[in-house]
């Protein structure tokens, strides 16, 4: 006998889309646009954002290299669980060190790294919170791009350049990549 409660439920592949880039590059903006587009298709999506996660899951951590690594390890654990259960995870984290991103890629079976590229000068120009200015004046130690390094991905799955395209165009390119790779069906 068939269980009618399962009618209409379609199989969804879980994947973690890891957006990395400097503060102000556009990671969160792109993730929010993608979240809306994917939900409109009826897909299960969770957005994990650096600022939000730091207020709940990792509020005990600072910004030293060790704390940043612990932060990414915790996020990776959550993303891996969600991915394994068929959720599309939109993870927006500066994640400045290549070793951190390699760790996440190794732990999460379905992983897509998107480099949200934006030159430092443009990120500084966009900075509505004034964080770059404060860091340049010595007010924020360990600020990525100013007094702490950002190691750009050497071989990301996709690069979007937010100085040359709108957030909507970047999000559309990411969505097309997910379709071409078979993570989501065409809309």
Residue positions annotated with a catalytic role: 95
Phi, psi of 135 (to 5 degrees): -65, -40
Say if residue 26 carries a ligand binding annotation.
yes
Say if residue 21 carries a ligand binding annotation.
yes
CB-based contact 125:133 (threshold 8 Å) = no
C-alpha atoms less than 13 angstroms from C-alpha of 29 in its C-beta half-sphere: 15
Residues 6+ apart with CB under 8 A from 147: 135, 140, 141
Say if residue 182 carries a ligand binding annotation.
no
172 Cα distance to chain centroid: 15
Say if residue 24 carries a ligand binding annotation.
yes
Say if residue 59 carries a ligand binding annotation.
no
Say if residue 37 carries a ligand binding annotation.
no
Structure tokens at 90: 């939109």
Say if residue 25 carries a ligand binding annotation.
yes
Instruction: Cite the annotated binding site by residue number.
Output: 21-28
Binding residue ranges for ATP? 21-28
């Amino acid at each position: 006998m068939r269980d009618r409660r399962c009618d209409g439920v379609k199989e969804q592949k879980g994947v973690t889309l890891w957006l990395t880039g400097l503060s102000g590059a556009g990671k969160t903006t792109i993730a929010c646009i993608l979240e809306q587009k994917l939900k409109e298709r009826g897909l299960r999506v969770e957005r994990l954002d650096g600022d939000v996660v730091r207020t709940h899951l990792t509020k005990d951590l600072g910004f030293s290299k060790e704390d940043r690594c612990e932060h990414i390890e915790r996020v990776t654990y959550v993303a891996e669980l969600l991915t394994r259960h068929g959720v599309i995870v939109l993870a927006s984290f500066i994640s400045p060190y290549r070793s951190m991103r390699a760790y996440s890629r190794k732990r999460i079976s379905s992983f897509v790294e998107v480099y949200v590229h934006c030159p430092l000068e443009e990120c500084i120009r966009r900075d509505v919170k004034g964080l770059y200015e404060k860091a340049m004046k010595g007010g924020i130690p360990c600020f990525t791009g100013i007094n702490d390094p950002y190691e750009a991905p050497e071989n990301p799955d996709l690069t979007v350049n937010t100085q040359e395209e709108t957030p909507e165009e970047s999000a559309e390119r990411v969505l097309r990549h997910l379709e071409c790779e078979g993570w989501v069906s065409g809309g």
